[in-house]
Amino acid sequence: MAQTEDGWQLEANAPELYERYMVPAIARLWAADLVERAAPKPRERVLDVACGTGIVARLAAAAMGTGHVVGLDINEGMLAVARSRSAGAGLHIEWHKASALDLPFPDSSFDLILCQLGLQFFPDQPRALREMIRVLVPKGRLALSVFTAIERTPVTNALADALDRYVGPTASAIKRSEHSLSDPVHLHELAAGAGFREVMIEQVTQIIRFDSAQQYVHFQLSATPLASLVDRMANVQRSALEKNIVRDVIAALASVSEEGFTSPQEVHVVRARK
């Protein structure tokens, strides 16, 4: 794991694990919702900022049929997975390694900018939004999402509490940072302050599902930046930690059913125009 200026980084095989496990269970749900709300049109030019392994860009390209889709991320490991998943799929997507704080495109390059669950990690959010509005055409559209308060996603809240309990009082900092833009008033101020107009913010809830609480915890500790907390632990120590966290998460949620392990998850979806 490595922290860089954009904050949320994965190395080694974690990007592939993220694509394999976290995208189907969580990221694809939100990607489909964001693309549907943004409604990219055929022949539009679309930029997916902080694209990760590319699920938003792929769904946008599929929805458009024709057009120009660009995915941008600062993490080469994530981009490598994105390239491999789009190759041979008949999707015309360009992938760029660059920072959201310094987009490598001329002014007025895109009709639509998408950013799924990434803005909260940027070290200079106003600058990132100013860069987004710069590369949009006049009346161009922005659609982005960020998580609401951690308490609104019970499974994440339970996981964070358990990490602090068993690993240390700041162990959940990475996970809690996902929810650092939970105030809709502040979020509106950020977008409007960058020059966006017609700013609308909606609260949207999805139900995330895993086969079991054990699966959820294991994936979180292996396919997200939380892996940095356990990657040097001995197998016995890690196994004991996972068992303790699983027990506490189950006790906090009590949501085990025939459908597996479920939890509501909530985001703010921001839509605006240049």
β-pair partners for 144: 115, 270
pLDDT at 10 > cutoff 90:
no
For residue 90, what pLDDT is reported?
Answer: 75
What distance lies between CA 155 and its chain's CA centroid? 16
- How far is Cα 175 from Cα 163, in angstroms, rounded to an integer? 9
Residue percentage of the chain with pLDDT more than 90: 77
| Cβ–Cβ < 8 Å for 237, 185 | no
CA distance 151 to 157: 6
Q: Is the pLDDT of residue 153 over 90?
A: yes
Percent of the residues in the chain that have a pLDDT greater than 70, as a whole number? 93
d(CA 259, CA 119): 32
- Given a cut of 50, whether residue 9 has pLDDT beyond it is no
Report, as an integer, the average pLDDT of 203-213.
93
CA distance 17 to 23: 9
Q: 9-13, 91-95, 179-183, 223-227: lowest mean pLDDT where? A: 9-13
Residue with the two structure tokens 């839509």: 271
Give the contacts of 173 (CB within 8 A, at least 6 positions apart): none
Adjacent-strand bridge partners of 145? 116, 269
**pLDDT (0 to 100) of residue 5:** 43
What pTM was estimated for this model as a whole? 0.91
Write the pLDDT tens digit of every residue in 123-152: 999 999 999 999 999 999 999 999 999 999
Question: Which fold is adopted by the domain 14-273?
Answer: Rossmann fold (3.40.50)
Q: Rounded to an integer, what distance in angstroms lies between the CA atom of residue 48 and that of residue 115?
A: 6
| 51, pLDDT greater than 80 | yes
Q: At what angle do helices 125-135 and 184-193 cross, to 10 degrees?
A: 50
- Is the predicted pLDDT of residue 120 greater than 90, yes or no? yes
Q: Return d(Cα 4, Cα 9) in angstroms, integer.
A: 7
Averaged pLDDT for residues 65-94:
91
Q: In sequence order, what DSSP letters do the residues of the chain get, joined into one string? A: ----TT-----TTHHHHIIIIIIIIIIHHHHHHHHHHH---TT-EEEEET-TTSHHHHHHHHHHSSSEEEEEES-HHHHHHHHHHHTTTT--EEEEE--TTS--S-TT-EEEEEEES-GGG-S-HHHHHHHHHHHEEEEEEEEEEEE--GGGSHHHHHHHHHHHHHT-TTTTHHHHHTTTT--HHHHHHHHHHTT-EEEEEEEEEEEEEES-HHHHHHHHHHHSGGGGGTTTS-HHHHHHHHHHHHHHHHHHH--EETTEEEEEEEEEEEEEE-
Q: Residue 66 corresponds to which amino acid?
A: T
Average pLDDT, the chain: 91
Q: What is the mean pLDDT of residues 55-71?
A: 95
User: What are 146's strand-pairing partners?
Assistant: 268
- Bigger pLDDT: 9 or 162? 162
Q: Sketch the domain layout of the chain as residue ranges.
A: 14-273
Distance between CA 40 and CA 158 in Å, rounded? 36
pLDDT beyond 90 at 222: no
Q: Span 61-76, mean pLDDT?
A: 95
Predicted local distance difference test score (pLDDT) of residue 228: 87
Position 253 confidence tier, pLDDT thresholds 50, 70, 90: confident
Residue 170 reports pLDDT greater than 70: yes
